Amino acid sequence: SSSSTASFAAASNRVAPSTKAAKSVGDIRKLKLITAVKTPYLEDGRFDFEAYDRIVDDQIAHGVEGLIVGGTTGEGHLMSWDEHIMLIAHTVNQFGDRLTVIGNTGSNSTREALHATEQGFNVGMHASLQINPYYGKTSNKGMAAHLKAGLAEGPGIVYNVPARTSQDIPDEVIEELSQHENFLGVKECTGNDRIANYTKKGIVCWSGNDDEAHDARHIAGAAGVISVTSNVIPGLFSSLMDARDDELNEAVQPLVSWMFREPNPTGLNTMLSMMGACKPVFRMPYMAYDKEWREEGVQLLEALGGDAVAPSVRSLSSLDDDDFTYVYSSR
Amino acid sequence: SSSSTASFAAASNRVAPSTKAAKSVGDIRKLKLITAVKTPYLEDGRFDFEAYDRIVDDQIAHGVEGLIVGGTTGEGHLMSWDEHIMLIAHTVNQFGDRLTVIGNTGSNSTREALHATEQGFNVGMHASLQINPYYGKTSNKGMAAHLKAGLAEGPGIVYNVPARTSQDIPDEVIEELSQHENFLGVKECTGNDRIANYTKKGIVCWSGNDDEAHDARHIAGAAGVISVTSNVIPGLFSSLMDARDDELNEAVQPLVSWMFREPNPTGLNTMLSMMGACKPVFRMPYMAYDKEWREEGVQLLEALGGDAVAPSVRSLSSLDDDDFTYVYSSR
Amino acid sequence: SSSSTASFAAASNRVAPSTKAAKSVGDIRKLKLITAVKTPYLEDGRFDFEAYDRIVDDQIAHGVEGLIVGGTTGEGHLMSWDEHIMLIAHTVNQFGDRLTVIGNTGSNSTREALHATEQGFNVGMHASLQINPYYGKTSNKGMAAHLKAGLAEGPGIVYNVPARTSQDIPDEVIEELSQHENFLGVKECTGNDRIANYTKKGIVCWSGNDDEAHDARHIAGAAGVISVTSNVIPGLFSSLMDARDDELNEAVQPLVSWMFREPNPTGLNTMLSMMGACKPVFRMPYMAYDKEWREEGVQLLEALGGDAVAPSVRSLSSLDDDDFTYVYSSR
Amino acid sequence: SSSSTASFAAASNRVAPSTKAAKSVGDIRKLKLITAVKTPYLEDGRFDFEAYDRIVDDQIAHGVEGLIVGGTTGEGHLMSWDEHIMLIAHTVNQFGDRLTVIGNTGSNSTREALHATEQGFNVGMHASLQINPYYGKTSNKGMAAHLKAGLAEGPGIVYNVPARTSQDIPDEVIEELSQHENFLGVKECTGNDRIANYTKKGIVCWSGNDDEAHDARHIAGAAGVISVTSNVIPGLFSSLMDARDDELNEAVQPLVSWMFREPNPTGLNTMLSMMGACKPVFRMPYMAYDKEWREEGVQLLEALGGDAVAPSVRSLSSLDDDDFTYVYSSR
């Protein structure tokens, strides 16, 4: 596998501006803990930058090394592209010297993916996350061409999540892409067997499943995790990625399980609202967990040690139903 | 089922302008053949209105009663919203007095769905097609709220296609939505058993599967079909919807099967290009079938009778690979 | 002048779709009364289509033959392009068979002018209004190229209003443009001497000044007027365009003068709000006349005969300051 | 005037994120040389970031202390807002620690001005430039409310250029705005008498006229200049702002005069193309000076000392007409 790995070290073919703080492909491949960061909102649905900056500061303080900005977790699919690029630019400007900024600038439309990825690199993001065409789907030939076009803009991670896209990226497509000089690796959500298989071939993987991430890293050979739960317990996830700790891994599972009872980021949005890390404002179609589940969530977080593990906790509360605001429209 | 049906006849709660040629909810529910119409392109990726108008004229001439504009087939997900609304407005203006114009103005973003659906009704579309939040997904509660918000804008068909969205719309959500005065029915892609079940409850269904559409209508009680293959053989599909004809249904299956060898509209785009109905221009990530499959497609169409069944055929040819143009970007 | 006039009759070089109800260049050139129609708003700043449709119905009933949609009067410069095209499409769909729909799809950006003009024709508008590059300005060479590009999309009226654009379109540019087959004529705001001069050369003119419009038509040879005040008194303006009537012309001058005490459409927005033709909602930066002027406006309208001349009057009132809503943002 | 000046020092009421490298209002008011920087293009009309970064590096090296990004000179009116914000974000990210980045985020639409100004501050710009409503115009009351709304987003310079806007900002409006804590000063284009008058009242001014800038600073009391010509001869303009030098001021006048023979940035675009600082690509409606004027321009620049004064000169040439590319559309 050394020969295919060799090409990974090649220089980027990115023609866009070299940013002051560009990260090398090699450095990005070593990131262990990347958070798919929450996007917090004001009551009118605009971004709450004050909450965002506080969240990111806490992330950095507790060992997070990179961020996916506007991922599915961060609800990039609920943003206009100018909002999305604005958030990437803001993150680069405020935090780009302290962690790696990865913009989720893929799309099921090749045109949109290229537009957003180009803009993201122009405002200084370090890497992109590229998705295969969800919903519209396409042939394997079309999928490979789509993903290659995204990679041509700059260093990129390919994201395989058939439970969202309805279409798996086959091994042969990943192997073909892995020859691209801008290919960083795969965010893989189909399990640790596949991660182990890719890793053997020299293809860098990040687990996309919080429940399997510890084993992915310490058994299956993943570089690390692109995590949702690390929004809540960044310090514990940092520990889980740093060294094998089966006991800790077991201890966090009940919380992880709670987070994904409904499609992400339903649980995350609920939890961060309860922690006071953000206002309890949801862009539709996401709606908070019901009261009963919220109370369980509070208990699960408290069981893990409260403030110590959840640095953004300002006032842990299960809240009332009418504390939540649901934003349907940008008007 | 008569009591639940009763509410269907209620007046629209649409606050937008009443259009000159508005269709009644009852009339729309009787449509048997609706085509998810192809969007043809010029070499630079813009819409080819000349080809589009010719295709729609042919559709009308061969019995098509309604169109989905910018569906997944028409590649709404590859359009900017202003392009999409422009195409709906154009269709209304040119053809709105001859068939029912249904805009695919749903989205996985509630904000976008509302914006587009409102604009679509403002430019005169007769109904919308509403999708549950694909890719981003959400809880059933969020899904129902999302779809109800879309229906509040005007008469709408709900679209269930878990093979694209990764998330089924459960029966209980459909039943809840069916109480909404603007609910027209379901485009259902999960099979005729479910259609039969819905039909028994007074919920209008259109089959979203061309291979099952004949039986859906004549056995399972569907109102008709929202079809892809009717772009190619509208007259035959019109016959299939008008009266039971098992022989004809069997005869078209090889072509139908060919159409869906790769995710739609890969096959449709290839076929219409070969028929000369549109230029062989694809917006990425769609790419034409390979030569061998193209030749099979020509034979399958010819076997059905050529010109007689495919009114848009101008020069049937399997084309060469380099006849195809792939548009990556709007620049 | 007959030779230069000859070219005016040439067919359009428009490649976009031929709309069902396309108007001939010759017919558009004969329009006497075109209203730059008001865009009414709901309290949240969205278009009020109910008020709009009522206004347009009244316009048609009182002799208006054409509309400028989203002109400076209709505040096209305060619309997003998708709103603007939506309004054009709506107008075509609802009223395109009863009057001529002219979209103000010009811009100081050539790219935007071409994009909007193309979209406007695609949704069925009959003609465009093209402006020279205001604010950014350019050389005469650039100006001519810019305006020609707009005309290439379809039949167009060129708009000369240096009191807004800061740059006059020189005679030689107009004469050069007049050779273009899609050139309909000029909306000229610099006075009747210039109109008389253009008219002698066979160049069709519409006056852009309500106070001079009667003389422009009956003395200087203008085809008619593109009017603001005709939003308020369409019947009287129709009479003024139909036949010379110096007495009537004198009678309307006090109202006309009132309308333009502040930059248009400040006065128009105030008057239509007072007439109940629209809600008293202003998109910023427009703000209503003060109470004292409003009272004068009511008296001036009443002096002209009230309901008889102002068909949209529902409840004439000078309103209170806090009746007005000012919308700053689309959120 | 000390009492009115006092309010200038008040803290910003900006609620947006505090950026890492925010500049104080007091520091921005001391800037002597701000360049309204050129936006260079690739052949397809996209931004040429490589050329841009080289130009800005040269600007900094020769004493420029601040940039207006996407001004009328930088053709902000020919950009989509997402392009414009992207360019501001890029400039902040690459150069924000070396000079002050002022985004031209004003608009004649209050909604657009607020949207763009908010986004600009979110991506880290240090200040905005706010324009009164050009083209659409409004009452003084509307104008003041419009400009105050822009200032509420963060520190801003108000731009008075009636030769573009067709409407002067009256002294009383400026004086009212000068009480706003985010008001930095005026970019004034109506001459040095007015600047002297404002200066006496404690209102900070930058001259917007390159020919008068030296006297504005050293005689009329201006803080400095927001310059076009400094794109070409930044070092000389830096000297002119640093200390009185009537001889040098006289020496640069022929070049300055050449720059404004046609509406700016026609001359600037031509000159930078001839210097090899950017590709000879123009977004329409701007078109290069004719050959004869180009040759004069080369001579005028050479007369000033060539490379020494024009750091971006790579290959000074009057070019041929067909060296120039004119981009009409983003397709």
ipTM: 0.93
Coil, helix or strand at residue A14:
coil
- Contact with chain A for residue C111, Cβ under 8 A: no
C331 contacts in A (CB within 8 Å)?
44-46, 330-331
DSSP symbol at A12: P
DSSP symbol at D36: E
How far apart CA C270 and CA C251 sit, in angstroms, is 21
Question: Tens digit of pLDDT for each residue in A187-213?
Answer: 999 999 999 999 999 999 999 999 999
Task: Label residue A12 by pLDDT band (50, 70, 90).
Answer: very low
How far apart CA C129 and CA C66 sit, in angstroms, is 12
Report the residue of chain D nearest B44, measured CA to CA.
Answer: D331
* Cβ contact D163–C163 (<8 Å): no
D20 contacts in A (CB within 8 Å)?
93-94
Residue D229 has which token pair? 């010509």
How far apart CA B64 and CA B42 sit, in angstroms, is 25
Work out the average pLDDT over B149-164.
98
Task: Label residue A7 by pLDDT band (50, 70, 90).
Answer: very low
Q: How far is B42 from chain D (nearest CA, A)?
A: 12
How far apart CA C126 and CA C54 sit, in angstroms, is 21
Which residue numbers of D are catalytic? 159, 187
* Cβ contact A123–D86 (<8 Å): yes
Question: Tens digit of pLDDT for each residue in B279-289?
Answer: 999 999 999 99
- Contact with chain B for residue D44, Cβ under 8 A: yes
Q: From residue B279, give the alpha-carbon distance in Å to each of B77, B264, B292, C205.
A: 20, 18, 20, 42
Q: List all residues 6 or more positions away from C250 whose beta carbon is below 8 Å from its beta carbon.
A: none
Which residue numbers of C are catalytic? 159, 187
Position A146 pLDDT exceeds 50: yes
Q: How far is B49 from chain C (nearest CA, A)?
A: 6
pLDDT score at C2: 30
Q: From residue B288, give the alpha-carbon distance in Å to each of B269, B285, B299, B323.
A: 7, 10, 17, 10
Which residues pair with residue A41 across a beta bridge? A47
Neighbours of C35 (CB within 10 A): 29
Q: How far is A247 from chain B (nearest CA, A)?
A: 32
* Cβ contact C44–A330 (<8 Å): no
Q: Which comes out higher in pLDDT, residue B14 or C46?
A: C46
Q: What is the mean pLDDT of chain A?
A: 92
pLDDT score at B121: 98
Closest to A258 measured CA to CA, from A219, A206, A226, A299 = A299
How far apart CA D243 and CA D249 sit, in angstroms, is 11
Residue D210 has which token pair? 């390159």
A327 contacts in B (CB within 8 Å)?
111
Closest to B199 measured CA to CA, from B188, B208, B209 = B188
C44 contacts in A (CB within 8 Å)?
331
How far apart CA B75 and CA A187 sit, in angstroms, is 27
Position D290 pLDDT exceeds 70: yes
DSSP symbol at D19: P
Question: Tens digit of pLDDT for each residue in C134-144?
Answer: 999 999 999 99
Closest to B42 measured CA to CA, from A47, D331, C326 = D331
* Cβ contact C85–B86 (<8 Å): yes
pLDDT score at B303: 93
How far apart CA A307 and CA A271 sit, in angstroms, is 14
Task: Label residue A13 by pLDDT band (50, 70, 90).
Answer: very low
Interaxial angle between packed helices A266-274 and A291-303, expressed in degrees from 0 to 180 and rounded to the nearest 10 = 70
Report the residue of chain B nearest A118, measured CA to CA.
Answer: B329
Contact assessment for residue D278 and residue D41, using Cβ atoms and an 8 Å cutoff: yes
Question: Tens digit of pLDDT for each residue in C62-86?
Answer: 999 999 999 999 999 999 999 999 9
Task: Label residue B317 by pLDDT band (50, 70, 90).
Answer: very high
Closest to A286 measured CA to CA, from A131, A49, A75 = A75
- Contact with chain D for residue B330, Cβ under 8 A: yes
Position B17 pLDDT exceeds 80: no
Closest to D89 measured CA to CA, from B221, B160, A85 = A85
Q: Cα Rg for chain A, rounded, in angstroms?
A: 19
Show the DSSP H helices in chain B as ranges: 2-8, 25-29, 49-61, 81-95, 110-122, 140-151, 162-165, 171-177, 192-200, 213-218, 234-242, 246-259, 266-274, 291-303
pLDDT score at C272: 97
Q: List all residues 6 or more positions away from A295 whose beta carbon is below 8 Å from its beta carbon.
A: A318
Task: Label residue B19 by pLDDT band (50, 70, 90).
Answer: low
Question: Tens digit of pLDDT for each residue in D99-126?
Answer: 999 999 999 999 999 999 999 999 999 9
How far apart CA A186 and CA A131 sit, in angstroms, is 10
* Cβ contact B53–C96 (<8 Å): no
> What are the backbone dihedrals phi and psi of residue C122, each rounded to the nearest 5 degrees, phi first?
-65, -30
Question: Tens digit of pLDDT for each residue in B172-193?
Answer: 999 999 999 999 999 999 999 9
Which residue numbers of B are catalytic? 159, 187
- Contact with chain C for residue D109, Cβ under 8 A: yes
Question: Tens digit of pLDDT for each residue in C117-155?
Answer: 999 999 999 999 999 999 999 999 999 999 999 999 999
How far apart CA C266 and CA C287 sit, in angstroms, is 6
- Contact with chain B for residue D331, Cβ under 8 A: yes
Closest to C48 measured CA to CA, from C280, C305, C310, C288 = C280
Position B46 pLDDT exceeds 60: yes
A150 contacts in B (CB within 8 Å)?
none
How far apart CA C91 and CA C49 sit, in angstroms, is 10
Question: Tens digit of pLDDT for each residue in B74-132?
Answer: 999 999 999 999 999 999 999 999 999 999 999 999 999 999 999 999 999 999 999 99
Work out the average pLDDT over B220-238.
97
Question: Tens digit of pLDDT for each residue in A35-91?
Answer: 999 999 999 999 999 999 999 999 999 999 999 999 999 999 999 999 999 999 999
DSSP symbol at D269: H
Strands B66-69 and B33-36: parallel
Contact assessment for residue B311 and residue B268, using Cβ atoms and an 8 Å cutoff: no
Residue B20 has which token pair? 């000159």
Cα–chain center distance at C75: 10
**Which chains, if any, share at least 3 CB pairs under 8 A with chain B?**
A, C, D
Report the residue of chain C nearest A46, measured CA to CA.
Answer: C331
Work out the average pLDDT over D271-289.
97
C133 contacts in D (CB within 8 Å)?
285
- Contact with chain D for residue B46, Cβ under 8 A: yes
pLDDT score at A314: 82
Q: Between chain B and chain D, how many beta carbons pairs sit less than 8 Å apart?
A: 10
How far apart CA D180 and CA D155 sit, in angstroms, is 9
- Contact with chain C for residue A43, Cβ under 8 A: no
How far apart CA C173 and CA D290 sit, in angstroms, is 18
How far apart CA C280 and CA C274 sit, in angstroms, is 8
pLDDT score at D276: 96
Task: Label residue C330 by pLDDT band (50, 70, 90).
Answer: confident
Position B10 pLDDT exceeds 70: no
Strands A281-283 and A325-327: parallel
How far apart CA B68 and CA B71 sit, in angstroms, is 6
Report the residue of chain D nearest B330, measured CA to CA.
Answer: D331
Interaxial angle between packed helices A234-242 and A246-259, expressed in degrees from 0 to 180 and rounded to the nearest 10 = 140
Q: How far is B2 from chain A (nearest CA, A)?
A: 32
D330 contacts in B (CB within 8 Å)?
330-331
- pTM value is 0.94
* Cβ contact C46–A331 (<8 Å): yes
Contact assessment for residue C79 and residue D111, using Cβ atoms and an 8 Å cutoff: no
Residue C282 buriedness (CB in 10 A; 0-12 / 13-18 / 19+)? buried
Chain A segment 83-102 residues within 8 A of D by beta carbon are: 85-86, 89-90, 92-94, 96
Lowest mean pLDDT among A314-323, B255-264, B298-307: B298-307
Work out the average pLDDT over B225-232.
98
Task: Label residue A331 by pLDDT band (50, 70, 90).
Answer: low
How far apart CA B215 and CA B219 sit, in angstroms, is 5
How far apart CA B316 and CA A73 sit, in angstroms, is 47
Position A21 pLDDT exceeds 80: no
Q: What is the mean pLDDT of chain B?
A: 92
SS3 content of chain B, % helix, strand, coil (to 5): 45, 15, 40
Q: How far is D268 from chain B (nearest CA, A)?
A: 26
Residues in chain B: 331
Q: What is the mean pLDDT of chain D?
A: 92
How far apart CA A271 and CA B151 sit, in angstroms, is 31
**Preceding peptide of B263 cis, ω within 30°:** no
Q: How far is D246 from chain C (nearest CA, A)?
A: 31
Coil, helix or strand at residue A40:
coil
D44, D45, D331 member nearest B46 (Cβ): D331
Coil, helix or strand at residue C137:
coil
Degrees to nearest 5, angle at CA D286 with D169 and D54: 90
* Cβ contact B77–A141 (<8 Å): no
Q: List all residues 6 or more positions away from A187 whose beta carbon is below 8 Å from its beta carbon.
A: A129, A157, A158, A159, A160, A161, A205, A206, A207, A208, A226
Report the residue of chain D nearest A83, measured CA to CA.
Answer: D119
